[in-house]
Structures are given as C-alpha cells and as structure tokens.
Structure 1
C-alpha cells in the first residue's frame, strides 16, 4: 500500500511567507525611501527654522560657509535612522512601538546633551530638553503614520 501525502494550501502559503525577504516587495522599498526622504526634508526645515530664530546652532558642521545647519545629520544620519526605526517598528506590536518611540526620544535628549558637551551643538539658554523629547516623539509618530499610509498603496 502506497500513501501519498500532499501539502495543503496553507502549508504552501506558510512556506512562501518564510522565504520572503525583510522587504515584501517594491511597495516596501518605496515606502521606506519616501518616508526617509520626508524625515530628511522635515528635519532640514526644522533645523533651518530653529537655527534662524536662534534656538540653537551648530558650531561644527560640513561646509559652514554655505550651510547654517548640520547637513550631515539631516541628509545622512536622519534618513538612515528613520529606515532603521521603521524596520524595527514594523515588526512589533503597537504598545511595544510606543515604548520604542519613548525610549528613542529619551536617548536623543541624552545625545543632544552629550553633543553640547562636545561642542557640536549649542542651545539657547532658554531651551528645555523636554522640547526635544516631545518633539521627537511627535516626529517619530508622524513618520510611522506616514510609513503606514505609504504601505497602503
């Protein structure tokens, strides 16, 4: 007697899901790139605004004779950080995502203070680092929502 076992449709689907890469296709790539570009653009314009009204300035920056902001941060580090954030945030549940956003915002406040001690970043005397904490929380929330929006296309 010969027993033939055929895989079910469900097991084929599970097998296909396991073989997918960390990006689920073109839409994922476009969503990451578009959201990272948005983050870079918003970061650049916010820095231009805050430097313009003298809330802070960057004594150490690329091409200081041309740019008043640190373009290395806004055009390189911020988009890369955004992609890593989105990659991590897309793999966890909503409550964990909020914990990640809060922790990242706290870490950024600490990094800002370290940057000030190193002379890379100088805030106005009236600046409160809680502004950065809540600002980055809002920024990351908006970036996440935009990423989810782009994923729907």
Structure 2
C-alpha cells in the first residue's frame, strides 16, 4: 500500500511540471493579436513564461511595518515621558501647596501673637528690649503682609 502511494505521489509531482501550459501568440489576417494555449498553424510564436518575481510591495510592506512599529514606540515613549513630567509637576505643586499652607499658618499665628502681646527683642545678655508703639506697628504690618502673601494667593 505504501509503495503504491509513493508511486502515485511521485507521478503527481512529475505531472505538475508537465501540466504547465504553454502560451502562443499570433496575429490574424486583420492584424488582431491573439493568445492561446494551442498554436495556430503558421506564424504562432511560443512565449516563455516564468514565475512572477516576488513583488517589491512585500518588502516595502515589511519595511513600512517596521517603520510603523518604530514610530509607535517613539510615540509611546513620548507619551510616557509626558505622563512622567505631568506627575512630577503635580508632586511639585502639591509640595509647594503644603509649604504655602505651613507658611500661612505660621504667619497667622505670628499676627495673632503680635496683636495680643507686647513685643520685645531678646538682648545678648539675656534681657529684653520692648518695642515702642511705632516699632510694634511696623512688625504687625510685616506680619499682615506675610499673611496676605501666604494665605490670600
């Protein structure tokens, strides 16, 4: 059985080569060109046909696919970098907001203390020098400016 199958397979392979059709070209009395698989008596010319060359389109398509992948990777890298930059900006803005909030709380506390107490400057010998009304008013104005700067922006 296997011998029979082998013989049939070999015959089929050999037959494929012989099945390849021949093409003939000729011109009739009216000048019209004809193509056929059987030669016309007289001036029929046999045409040699070969396997078509692989189209360069396949190569170009592979090249286009590779370029497209490279472009997609570049775009993904750019998007990733942009996301990372935005995340870093958000973190920086959050840190600045925390610092501003702390500075605001400190400035409000100082202003409240300046309004309720007598202000003094410590001396090198450990004593205190109390501020007069004009100096005290200047310190309160500076504290109000700090509150305005850190809390009202």
Structure holding more helix per residue: 1
More strand by share: 2
TM-score if structure 1 supplies the norm length? Answer: 0.31
The higher radius of gyration belongs to: 2
Q: TM-score, structure 2 length as denominator? A: 0.31
Higher relative contact order (Cα pairs below 8 Å, separated by 6+ residues): 1
